[in-house]
Amino acid sequence: MTNCLLLSPRFPEVSYWSFREPCELIGARYPAAPLGLVTAAALLPSDWTIRLLDLNVREMDPAQLDWADIVMAGGMIPQQRSLLALIDLCHAHGKRIAVGGQDPTGQPDIYAAADYLVLDEGELTIPQFLADLAVGAASGIYRSEEKPDITLSPTPRFDLLDLQRYIYAGVQFSRGCPLNCEFCDIIELYGRRPRTKTPQQLLRELECLYRLGYRGHVDFVDDNFIGNKKAVKAFLPELLAWSRQHGFPFLFSTEATINLADDPTLLDMMEAVDFRYVFVGIETPDSRLLIRTQKKVNTRHPVAESVHRLNRRGMVVTAGFILGFDGETRQAADAIAACVEDAAIPMAMVGLLAALPNTQLTRRLAREGRLPKAQFRLEPGDADQATSGLNFIPSRPRAEILEDYAALLRQVYSPRRYFGRVLAVARRLVRHPKQVGSIRGRWIEFRALGALVWRLGFDRQTAWYFWRTALVVLLTRPGNFEVTFHLMAFFLHFRTHTRIVLEGLDRRIQEAGKR
């Protein structure tokens, strides 16, 4: 019998994705459950005793390490510092640790201190690791050039999660993306041929969540949910039948390319199963930059037109934008600000271009001698693209980009603009929600509404916009009040996040100006 402790390292507090304040409103501790770790857990031997500790939702007592025979941890770039600290902590307690996931796979050298590096996709490398462990190997690096057939991937061990502590649970239908964006690491990690699970396999995962008593928001964590449209179109009718049979226990969100808006059949299907949020990588409205960064899929229609089409299908669009592309001009930030307003995207993740490990962009910049550091190491205070981007020599002055970025953030997350976009999207959104939520859930939301009124409705900077938005929606689109309330709650996070990022930017602008 082996005791295995799975650890999910901490994400930085200031990350765009931490949503700390909205989480607190509803009694959650972190938005997303660690799907990668529970997927890895399902690949471990059935006679192992497994415990999972997500440091984003629970504090760790180092004595918990004493129980474990082996520790396993995995993470993404924002978790890098926490993951490195865990390696040290395990060694201080005389425990062996295996690490894997996106960041160790992308830059294993940083994690050389770990005992085992279980890299690439776990379906192929965890068995190699287990075989070595069984014969007493004290260390090892496990890699696979091949991409696994994910139809053989087992149902993740959702039972290990304390699901009440998250805003949403995650499932994964596909890995990989057919696009060829220069800056993207997904195509390097998972390939450009999307691999999908079978409909039955995914329904088993949802059934598992259902049987665990989970209800509410399920996120398809796919990096491009519509990478294989044929497979998605085969899956969604099955999901609809399952949802009907179970009384629509879940609402959904995902990430997809913007050409989702061009496919009415797919939109019909997604609307029918209650997809309510979609994250889209818009990056920039400038077609010159989109072509250069090899994201031509975004050039087919004006952004606002596509976003509005998604809104009319009940989906709130959240979107990523990037500043710092090669060849961009001083107008780039203004163009992004205008695009965010025209499309009325309340939650716009505006970040700085980052040369991530093992991307086409990183290789080109290295060839051009524009990558001062070979590794992507997070410094204290770094969290995501908002704080740690521009890790290369940009094509226009760094201080200028940072100034434009600061001005852009101030615009996008001013209360007037943010609440204006919330109101615009609430007016445009056409929703036929199927998932109605539990009585307990309603009570939690009611309490959260009270807290939100207190925090935004009596704050001099937000009161006017808050009450105007709330009253106009209540009077004109009462059916959309719930989503309006959610989007307004997210402002609590954006206000804090923007303030912290701007403080850091002021320092970086001064440093860049001195160089």
Partner 1 sequence: MNDLLSQDILDIIFQDPQVRRLHKETLADWILDTQPHTAPLDSAALLEYLAAHQPDLLNRLKINVRIKEDLARALESNARN
Q: Which of 139, 287, 438, 476 binds partner 1 (CB under 8 A)?
A: 287
Q: Under the criterion CB under 8 A, does residue 445 sit at the interface with partner 1? A: no
Neighbours of 352 (CB within 10 A): 23
**Which one, 144 or 299, has the nearer CB to partner 1?**
299
Count of alpha carbons within 13 angstroms of residue 251, beta-carbon side? 21
Q: How far is the CB of 287 from partner 1 (least distance, A)?
A: 4
User: Cα-Cα-Cα-Cα dihedral of 13, 14, 16, 22, to 10°?
Assistant: 60
Q: How far is the CB of 326 from partner 1 (least distance, A)?
A: 4
Instruction: Write the burial class of residue 4 (CB in 10 Å: 0-12 exposed, 13-18 middle, 19+ buried).
Output: buried
Contacts of 289 (CB under 8 A, 6+ apart): 283, 325, 327, 328, 332
Q: Under the criterion CB under 8 A, does residue 312 sit at the interface with partner 1? A: no
With CB under 8 A, what is the number of residues at the site for partner 1?
A: 18
Q: Using an 8 Å Cβ cutoff, are 257 and 297 in contact?
A: yes
Q: Under the criterion CB under 8 A, does residue 192 sit at the interface with partner 1? A: no
Q: Under the criterion CB under 8 A, does residue 327 sit at the interface with partner 1? A: yes
Q: Which of 201, 299, 414, 496 binds partner 1 (CB under 8 A)?
A: 299
Q: Using an 8 Å Cβ cutoff, are 153 and 39 in contact?
A: yes
Cα 67 to Cα 56: distance, rounded to the nearest angstrom: 21
Cα 85 to Cα 119: distance, rounded to the nearest angstrom: 19
**Which one, 127 or 327, has the nearer CB to partner 1?**
327
Q: Using an 8 Å Cβ cutoff, are 18 and 12 in contact?
A: yes
Compute CA distances 414 → 230, 375, 411, 421, whole Å.
41, 35, 5, 11
Q: How far is the CB of 332 from partner 1 (least distance, A)?
A: 10
Tokens of residue 336, six digits: 């992004």
Tokens of residue 302, six digits: 């004006």
Q: Under the criterion CB under 8 A, does residue 397 sit at the interface with partner 1? A: no
Cα 319 to Cα 508: distance, rounded to the nearest angstrom: 25
Q: Under the criterion CB under 8 A, does residue 410 sit at the interface with partner 1? A: no
Name the H helices within 180-228: 186-190, 199-211
Q: Which of 119, 115, 89, 91 is nearest to 104 (CA)?
A: 119
**Which one, 93 or 301, has the nearer CB to partner 1?**
301
Of 126-134, 222-230, 286-294, 382-390, the window that binds partner 1 (rule: CB under 8 A) is 286-294
Tokens of residue 100, six digits: 């894997």
Cα 511 to Cα 515: distance, rounded to the nearest angstrom: 7
Of 132-140, 142-150, 294-302, 377-385, the window that binds partner 1 (rule: CB under 8 A) is 294-302
Q: Using an 8 Å Cβ cutoff, are 428 and 435 in contact?
A: no
**Which one, 241 or 291, has the nearer CB to partner 1?**
291
**Which one, 287 or 438, has the nearer CB to partner 1?**
287
Continuous segment of H or E residues that includes residue 283 = strand 275-283
Of 63-71, 148-156, 196-204, 292-300, the window that binds partner 1 (rule: CB under 8 A) is 292-300
**Which one, 105 or 298, has the nearer CB to partner 1?**
298
Of 75-83, 193-201, 326-334, 481-489, the window that binds partner 1 (rule: CB under 8 A) is 326-334
Q: Which of 296, 416, 432, 447 binds partner 1 (CB under 8 A)?
A: 296
The values of phi and psi at residue 184, to 5°, are -90, 135
**Which one, 287 or 375, has the nearer CB to partner 1?**
287
Q: Under the criterion CB under 8 A, does residue 366 sit at the interface with partner 1? A: no
**Which one, 329 or 358, has the nearer CB to partner 1?**
329
Compute CA distances 316 → 167, 240, 284, 478, whole Å.
16, 20, 19, 16
Instruction: Say whether 184 sits in a helix, a strand or coil.
Output: coil
Q: Which of 329, 438, 461, 476 binds partner 1 (CB under 8 A)?
A: 329
**Which one, 198 or 294, has the nearer CB to partner 1?**
294
Q: Which of 54, 121, 326, 404 binds partner 1 (CB under 8 A)?
A: 326
Of 33-41, 42-50, 287-295, 473-481, the window that binds partner 1 (rule: CB under 8 A) is 287-295
Cα 459 to Cα 456: distance, rounded to the nearest angstrom: 5
Q: Which of 139, 331, 375, 461 binds partner 1 (CB under 8 A)?
A: 331
**Which one, 200 or 329, has the nearer CB to partner 1?**
329
What is the DSSP-derived secondary structure letter of residue 446? H
**Which one, 192 or 296, has the nearer CB to partner 1?**
296
Q: How far is the CB of 330 from partner 1 (least distance, A)?
A: 9
Q: Which of 151, 395, 476, 510 binds partner 1 (CB under 8 A)?
A: 395
Residues that bind partner 1 (CB under 8 A): 286-288, 291-292, 294, 296, 299-302, 326-329, 331, 364, 395
